[in-house]
Chain A
Amino acid sequence: MAASSSTTLVALCSSLTTQCKISSNQNPILSKSLCLSKSNSGSFSKTTHNLSSSSLIFSKRPTFFANPPKFSESEALVVEAEPEAPVSEANPEPAATQVVEVAKEEPPKREEIFAVVMVGSRQYIVIPGRWLYVQRLKGADVNDKVTLNKVLLVGTRTSAYIGKPVVTNASVHAVVEEQGLDAKKIVFKYKKKKNYRRNIGHRQPNTRIRITGITGYQDYPVSTLDS
């Protein structure tokens, strides 16, 4: 039991390293200092409210409530709650001590809150400290502070603030990390027996943002959960 859980922890931590660039311990501090030096804060309120075409990006999932054993089957993105639970089990593990140290340092930094935010007409579940790819935000440079105003749901360990449709005065603060392009998709159009072939490559512009905090939801009518 302990062996299997430790191996899963290592596997999950390795996946955490590949996905989240585990030097995130230094990154939040770095990015914060850069934000302070560069006094450039833009607030982007998305006015597009049409909910067509949900995105297929499964963003990081908050898993604060007590069911850790089920998450070995779901996508490898569900990692951030794992270090919080079996940290004490990982201590006696001799190998990968560096990864264990980083995993130990993760939990105190993250507040247990998640929000559903709408960016670029797509909805994402965000938690502070994780990054995600969104549609390209025009006019945002690297290390810009961005405020996302369309917060549809805020959930903490004990209560949920469900917006109708938006949680008023709630906002999610994020920092733009990178403005890049998606992976190339080949758009190949072909009609048989008509000599029609078109080969087009397409790279969709995107923006990687890192979520720093969720604020402003406290005054909203709450539905407390009897946990």
Chain B
Amino acid sequence: MNKKKIFKLAKGFRGRAKNCIRIARERVEKALQYSYRDRRNKKRDMRSLWIQRINAGTRQHGVNYGNFMHGLLKENIQLNRKVLSEISMHEPYSFKALVDISRNAFPGNKNVVHPPRKVDMSAVNV
């Protein structure tokens, strides 16, 4: 790449890396390597975020993520995690319908209903 392109990609870099070609070239190459790697990482991160959101949404209704997904699998509902997380955020009634379907298909798991309450330890003598 010629220098103009390097400097265009080096906007916002710290110190001499945005002004001096020798340093900018190295930093831009590193930045492009990171973007290559992170395009793959982004897919993993987003899926993890969706799973966290679905987990939070289902636990409000007393079901945890694993049982919820197992119930959906049994009912052959093929909504993916991205859509499920968006529904859990913005369409609460539809999401509750999904949770009910899943709970009927797979009741399972007696323990996990509410997050554990924090016990007040100030009265305990160590």
A185 at the interface (CB under 8 A from B): yes
Cross-chain contact B91 with A155 (CB below 8 angstroms): yes
A117 to chain B, nearest CB (A): 10
A223 at the interface (CB under 8 A from B): yes
B25 to chain A, nearest CB (A): 11
Cross-chain contact B92 with A65 (CB below 8 angstroms): yes
In the complex, residue of chain B having the shortest beta-carbon distance to the beta carbon of A58: B86
Residue of B75, B79, B89, B101 with most chain A CB atoms under a 10 A cut-off: B79
B117 at the interface (CB under 8 A from A): no
Partner of B90, one of A54, A63, A188, A199: A63
Cross-chain contact B43 with A153 (CB below 8 angstroms): no
Tell me whether A61 and B90 are in contact in the complex, defined as CB-CB below 8 angstroms, given that A56-B46, A162-B98, A223-B101 are known contacts. yes
Q: How many A-B residue pairs have CB under 8 A?
A: 93
A152 at the interface (CB under 8 A from B): yes
A108 at the interface (CB under 8 A from B): no
Proximity bits, B62-96, A CB within 8 Å = 1, else 0: 00000000000001111111110011011111101
* Bound CA span A22–B24, Å: 41
* Bound CA span A223–B93, Å: 10
Proximity bits, A164-192, B CB within 8 Å = 1, else 0: 11000000000000000000011111100
Tell me whether A165 and B80 are in contact in the complex, defined as CB-CB below 8 angstroms, given that A54-B47, A63-B90, A225-B96 are known contacts. no
Chain B residues near A (Cβ < 8 Å): 1, 29, 32-33, 35-36, 39, 42-43, 46-47, 75-83, 86-87, 89-94, 96-98, 100-101
